[in-house]
Every structure is written in structure tokens, then in C-alpha cells.
Amino acid sequence: MPLMFTGLVETVGAVASAERAGTGVRLRVDLGRAAEGVRPGDSIALCGVCQTVAAIQGAVAAFDAVAETLARTTVGSWRPGTRVNVERSLRPADRLGGHFVAGHVDGVARVVENRERPDGWWLRAEAPPELFPEIAPKGSIAIDGVSLTVVEAAAPVLAVTLIPTTLRETTLGALAPGDLVNIETDMLAKYVRRALAALAGADADKRLLEALARSGFID
């Protein structure tokens, strides 16, 4: 079975150091209580980015982020003290409480709103428009590694609501407008989009949106 995550953050860790190493970056991250049982070679999701443990000493693990990771995620902007959501990979016997998250970030979104409204706490972010065929209301999305349900999706802005536990146990409550976050769309949506592309050619994304609208799944 491929390595998977659930999007249920175990703890918030902190970057201890981030040093250039060739075209990549050597990260050292304090995993806190999530360091228990971790060994070199294990996979850890850091703000939704799957990374392999290169070494570990106490609670501090070392990771090598390659150039592709730096280009597609927020990892390149991390500095000592940056707080990161931490999740160890799913074991076969574990319960799946969130949704299947691969740790393969699809793009970076920019926060445009993160505040409490009369109807709850809303987080809105501007995401790459090309990802919206894979984003739909009531569908799943991972934002900085946190499994969330999409409330609104009108390209280029998506919205989710955050419960008190998420605000307390992850980094999302501290985000401010302008901050960048990693997003991973739902795995099932990716396969549906790919299948439609194979059947319908270049118009697949348009046809998918039209079909979802007819079904009432999206507005």
C-alpha cells in the first residue's frame, strides 16, 4: 500500500534549522510528541508535504527537501522557528478519520481571509485556477496538511470553516491575509479528472464542471 496520511494533525512542530544543500535544503524539525517511534526512512507530513526522515536525534528529525519540493510548496520560505503541522504516515491498522492525503502538494494558495464571522470561523484562500476542476463544495481538501471540507469554491477562491479544535491544534488559526499555504486536492477528484480527460480530450475539465453543476453538487 502506498504511504498515506489522514490530514489529522498530530502536533505542531517547529523548524530548528533550514540550510541550503546544493539545489535543495536540509531541514531539521522538532517533531515534539510525534517523534515517538520515528526512525530514519520513515515518512512525515510537514504542513502537508511528505518528507523522508534522513536522521533523528531526540525529537529533532532531519529532512532533505529537493528542488522540486521547493518550487511547488512553501518549504523554501521556512526559517528557524517556523511552526509546522506534523503527521506521521498512516499505518494499515489505523482508523481513517480525515481523508486519504498523499502528501503530494498540488499548489500554493494565498490566504485572503481568516477570521471569525457570526456563522463560524472562515478561512478563504486564492488558489491556482487550474486546480478548481478538482475542488467542489462538500469535497475534501488538505490545507497545510489539515483535512478540511470545502464550503465554497468559485475560482480562484475556495473557502473552508474551522472548528475550535483545528484552531487550537494546528497552525491554521494563526494565518494572516497574504500568507501562503500548501494545498492538496482530493485524490478521487484527480482520478475522475484524468479519466474524463482520456475520454473527452481537452474539454474534459469544462464537461466535468458542467456535469457537477447539473447534479447539484456545485453551483
Tell me if 184 sits within 8 A of 101, measured CB to CB: yes
How far apart are the C-alpha atoms of 196 and 95, rounded to whole Å?
31
pLDDT category at 100 given cuts 50, 70, 90 is: confident
Does residue 98 fall inside a structural domain? Answer: no
Same domain, 27 and 73: yes
Q: Please tell me whether residue 70 adopts helix, strand or coil conformation.
A: helix
Residue 8 has what pLDDT?
A: 92
Does residue 132 fall inside a structural domain? Answer: yes
Q: Is the pLDDT of residue 213 over 80?
A: no
Residue 1 has what pLDDT?
A: 44
| β-pair partners for 56 | 61
How far apart are the C-alpha atoms of 216 and 108, rounded to whole Å?
28
**Domain residues for 172?**
107-186
Residue 39 has what pLDDT?
A: 96
**What digits encode the pLDDT tens for the residues 14-54?**
999 999 999 999 999 999 999 999 999 999 999 999 999 99
Does residue 118 fall inside a structural domain? Answer: yes
| β-pair partners for 55 | 62
CATH code of the domain in which 170 resides: 2.40.30.20
Q: How many domains does the chain have?
A: 2
Q: Please tell me whether residue 25 adopts helix, strand or coil conformation.
A: strand
Strands (E), 120-212: 120-126, 140-143, 146-154, 157-162, 180-185
Same domain, 84 and 115: no
How far apart are the C-alpha atoms of 144 and 155, rounded to whole Å?
19
Same domain, 20 and 83: yes
Does residue 166 fall inside a structural domain? Answer: yes
**What digits encode the pLDDT tens for the residues 2-14?**
568 989 999 999 9
**What digits encode the pLDDT tens for the residues 181-207?**
999 998 776 767 666 666 665 555 566
Which DSSP state fits 101? B
pTM assigned to the model: 0.86
